[in-house]
Structure formats: C-alpha cells, structure tokens
Structure 1
Amino acid sequence: MASQEDLVIARNAIFPNTFKATLSAGKIATSVMARAVTNHTIGQIAANAGFHAVMVDMEHSAVGLETASGVFASALNAGLTPLVRVPAAGAEWISRTLDAGALGVIVPHVNTAAEARAVVKYSKFSPLGERSISGGMPIFRLRSVPNVASSLVANENTLVICMIETEEAVNNVDDILAVEGVDMLHVGTNDLADSLGITGDLGNEKIFAAYARISAAAARASANGRKVYIGMGGLQGRPEVLRRLVNEDKNKLIRWISTADFPLYTQALEECATTMNNLLE
C-alpha cells in the first residue's frame, strides 16, 4: 500500500490531465488529431488555438512510436493532454505508447466486453490491469517516483477509451461499460455509418439513434462517483450534426469533439491563398 508521503510525491510529479478536468467541469473538451503535423510544435500550436488535447493517430497514419513520443512531450509541456489512437489492442501498442507519455489510449473496434477487458489489461496497472511497471515515465516528468504510488496515480490519470464503431458494439455497449477500468467511449461515426449500411450519410437518423443508445448506456454506467463521457469523431465537417448531438443529449455526456488536423490546415491555407491571389483589383 502506498504511503501518503509517496502519493504526494507522485501527484506533485504527474502532469495534470487537463482534458479530464475539462470534462469533469461539465464543459466540452476538444482534441485535434495529429497526422499532418507530428513534430515538437504541434502541442503549442494546439494550445494557442484553444484545444484541450492532442491525439496522435497511429491507426490511420504512418506515425511511429518515436515520433509519437515527441508529440506527447510537446502536448504535456504546452499544458495539453496527449492522447493516442493505437492500431490494435495489444501490449506492444497500448503499454508502450502509455510508457512513452500518453495520458489516454483510444482503442479502435471494441465490440465486446471481452475486448474491453483486454484493453484495460494492458492500460492499467495492478489491481485493475496487468500493465508492466516502468520507471522514469514522461507523465511524471521523468522523475523518480515510488512504484507503488506511481501505479496508483497513473491509473487515476490515464484514460482508457474504447471506440464504438459498429452496430455490434452499440448492441453490446452496456456490457462494454460494465468492464471496470473503461473510462470513456469514442464513437467512430464514419465506420459506424458504414456498419449501419448508410456509408457517408452522417446526418441519418440512425446515427442519432445510435448516439442516443450509447448515451443512455453511459448514463446507466455513471454511478458511485463514476462518470462516462462520449466523444465524437469524423464529424468536423458537419457542424449541424455536432450541434444537434450535443444539444439533444439529455444525459449531457456527449462532451468530447475530435477533429483531424489536415482539413483545418487545408481550409486555412485555401482561405489565405484565395485572399492573396485576389489582391489585384
């Protein structure tokens, strides 16, 4: 058991999870997914823009672990929360990205409770999981922290996020949320639409019905001090859908909006180029 002195050392050393704090305060949390810019500047760029987290996408990009670790450090030092979407639910991805400095792991295509348990197994230290203990973790500013305290404090601050991307996952969402250690859900709206047979139709009523089912399950799971929030991905180009999902959610749990970076850069560059190209009267 960790002593109070050791816990104080660990809690003073760890970078604050500002993303989690924003959600706990009842506000909308926003994240930008780093795919186009994946160097030491992205954390400060995202912070200057007003985002709460930087998500490194290792599922749909060529970003490797060494590059990802630099983005994590950039986010931490800018006061943002580094998140990572791993390509698969194995220790070689989950544990290593967390060891490299992520404060939250997003695992795609979690369709069953058994798959959710595997995610927790590699994301959380004992007694919640079986994550291997590592010293000198970036989230503790590379400081030496007693292991018994660092494990407990890391568990408190590390978010385990399961992606809901199929009709099967929606049908099993209560069972997924019954798994101890699952902190949040993130809906992959494009893949969900594909699974529902409405590929690309992100404003379809089936999407709203699916989100409503997921929110209801999250509300049922939010008990005894636990609060399960829901994130939305793939909707950055559909503000009317985002607005409706947030404002019609009677449970007030759909509170995380994620956007990819390259559409934002493209839009900004197009606007700049158009302005400059049309300066001559």
Structure 2
Amino acid sequence: MASNKDLAIAKAAIFPNTFKTTLHEGKIATSIMARAVTNHTVGQIAANAGFHAVMVDMEHSVVGLETAAGIFASALNAGVTPLVRVPAAGSEWISRSLDGGAMGVIVPHVNTAEEARAVVKYAKFSPLGERSISGGMPIFRLRSVPNVASSQVANESTLVICMIETVEAVNNVDEILAVEGVDMLHVGTNDLADSLGITGDLGNEKIFETYARISDAAARASVNGRKVYIGMGGLQNQPEVVSRLVNEDKNKLIRWISTADFPLYTQALEDCATTMNNMLK
C-alpha cells in the first residue's frame, strides 16, 4: 500500500489525462489518428487544432514503437493524451507502448472476456494485471517515483480500451465489460458492418441498433463509481450517423469521436490548391 506521501509524489509528476477528464465531465472527447503524419510534430498539431487525444495507429500502418514514442512525447508535452492502437494483444506491443509514453491502449478484435483479460494483464500493474514495473516512465516526466505509488497512479490514469468489431464481440459485450480493468469500448464500425453482413452501409439501422445494445451493456457496467464510455471509429465521413448516435444514446455514454488524419490533410490541401490555382483571373 502506497503512503500518502508517495502518492502525492506520483500524482504531482504524472501528466494529466485530459482525454479521460473530458469524458468524465460529460463532454465529447475527440481524437485524431496519426497515420499520414507520423513524427514529433503531431502532438502540437493536434493541440493547436483542439483535439483531446492523438491515437497512433500501429494496426493499419507501418509505424514502429520508436516512432510512436516520439509522438507520445510530443502529445504529452502539448497537453493532449497519447493513445495507441496496437496490432495485437501481446506484451511486446501493449506493455512496451505504455512504457514508451502512451496513456491509453486500444486493442482490436477483442471478442471474448478471456481476450479482454489478456489485455488487462499486460496493460495494468498488479493487482489488476501483471505489467512489469519500469522506472523513468514518460508519463511521469521521466522522474523517479516510488514504484508502489507509480503503479497505482499509472493504473488510474492508463486507459484499457477494447475494440468491438464483430457480432461475436457484441454477443459477449457484458462478459467483456465484467473484466476488471477494462475502461472503455471502441466500436470499429467498418468491421462491425462487415460482420453484420452490411459491408460499407454505415447508416444502416442495424448499426444504430447494435450501438444501442453496446451502450446498454456499458450502462449496466457503469456502477459503483465506474463509468464505461464508448468510442466511434470509421465514421469520420459520416457526420449524420455520428450525430444521431450521440444524440439518440439514452445512456449518454457514446462520447468519443475519432478521425483519421489523412482525409483531413487531403481536404485541406485540396482547398488550398484550389484557392491558389484560381488566383489568376
């Protein structure tokens, strides 16, 4: 058990998780997924634009851990929360990404409670998990923090986010949420639509019905001070769908919107090029 003095040291050193705070304030939390621009400037760019978090996508990109760690550092210092979507639920991805400075780990294709427990095992320190203790963590500004306190404070600040992307996962969502240490769900809407047999039809009523089912499960799990929020993935070009999901959610738990960076950069560059090309009368 950490002493009050040791806890105070850890809490004074850790970067605030602004993404988590925004959710607990009942607001919409936004994140940009880094795939097109993957260097140390991303954190400041995201902060300047008003995003709450940067998600480094290591599932659908060739970004490596060393590059990801540079983005995590820039995000921390810019005041936005660094998240990472790992390619698989192994310690070599989850624990090392968190050791590198991520404050939340997103794991794709979590279909069962057993798979959720494996995620928690590598993402959380004892007693919730079995993550190996590491000194000089970036989330503590590389400061020396008593291990007994750093483990507790890191567990409180580090988000474990399971992706729900299949009918199997939806059918098991209550069991997944019953796993202690699971903090959030993130719906991979494109893969979910594929699993539902409506590939590409993201405005289909089945999407809204399934999100409502997931939200109801999150509401059932949100007891005794716990609050489970839900993120929407793959809907950056579907503002009407996003708006309806948020505003029709009776549980008010669908609160995280994520967008990929390259469509935003492409559109901005197209607009700029069009303006410049039209300057000559």
Name the TM tier (shorter chain): over 0.9
SS in 2 for 1:160: strand
Give 1:188's aligned residue.
188
**Offset from partner CA, 1:68-100 (integer Å, 9 cap, x none):** 000000000000000000000000100000000
Give 1:230's aligned residue.
230
Give 1:275's aligned residue.
275
Give 1:73's aligned residue.
73
Give 1:107's aligned residue.
107
**Is residue 2:150 matched to residue 1:133?**
no
SS in 2 for 1:252: coil
1:82-161 equivalence runs, <5 A: 82-161=82-161
**Is residue 2:34 matched to residue 1:34?**
yes
CA distance in 2, matches of 1:247, 1:240: 11
Q: Displacement of 1:33 after TM fit?
A: 0.3
Give 1:264's aligned residue.
264
Percentage of pairs with the same residue = 88
CA distance in 2, matches of 1:36, 1:149: 37
Q: Displacement of 1:277 after TM fit?
A: 1.0
CA distance in 1, matches of 2:280, 2:150: 61
CA distance in 1, matches of 2:37, 2:279: 29
SS in 2 for 1:185: strand
SS in 2 for 1:127: coil
Give 1:24's aligned residue.
24
SS in 2 for 1:63: coil
SS in 1 for 2:82: strand
TM-score scaled to structure 1, two decimals?
1.00
**Offset from partner CA, 1:145-180 (integer Å, 9 cap, x none):** 000000000000000000000010011100000000
Give 1:254's aligned residue.
254
**Offset from partner CA, 1:205-229 (integer Å, 9 cap, x none):** 0100110000000000000000000
Give 1:15's aligned residue.
15
Give 2:52's aligned residue.
52
Unaligned runs of 5+ in 1: none
SS in 2 for 1:82: strand
CA distance in 2, matches of 1:279, 1:10: 56
**Offset from partner CA, 1:192-247 (integer Å, 9 cap, x none):** 00111111000000100110000000000000000000000100000000000000
Q: Displacement of 1:123 after TM fit?
A: 0.4
CA distance in 1, matches of 2:235, 2:89: 24
Q: Partner letter of residue 67 of structure 2?
A: T
Q: Partner letter of residue 249 of structure 2?
A: D
Q: Displacement of 1:280 after TM fit?
A: 2.1
Q: Displacement of 1:38 after TM fit?
A: 1.0
CA distance in 1, matches of 2:275, 2:204: 36
CA distance in 1, matches of 2:96, 2:189: 27
CA distance in 1, matches of 2:39, 2:90: 25
CA distance in 1, matches of 2:212, 2:171: 12
Give 1:197's aligned residue.
197
Query: Hey, which bits of structure 1, 4+ residues long, moved more than 6 A?
Result: none
CA distance in 2, matches of 1:195, 1:268: 33
Give 1:64's aligned residue.
64
**Offset from partner CA, 1:87-136 (integer Å, 9 cap, x none):** 00000100000000000000000000000000000000000000000000
Q: Partner letter of residue 42 of structure 1?
A: V
1:198-213 equivalence runs, <5 A: 198-213=198-213
SS in 1 for 2:56: strand
TM-score scaled to structure 2, two decimals?
1.00
CA distance in 2, matches of 1:279, 1:213: 52
Q: Partner letter of residue 41 of structure 2?
A: T
SS in 2 for 1:136: coil
SS in 1 for 2:187: strand
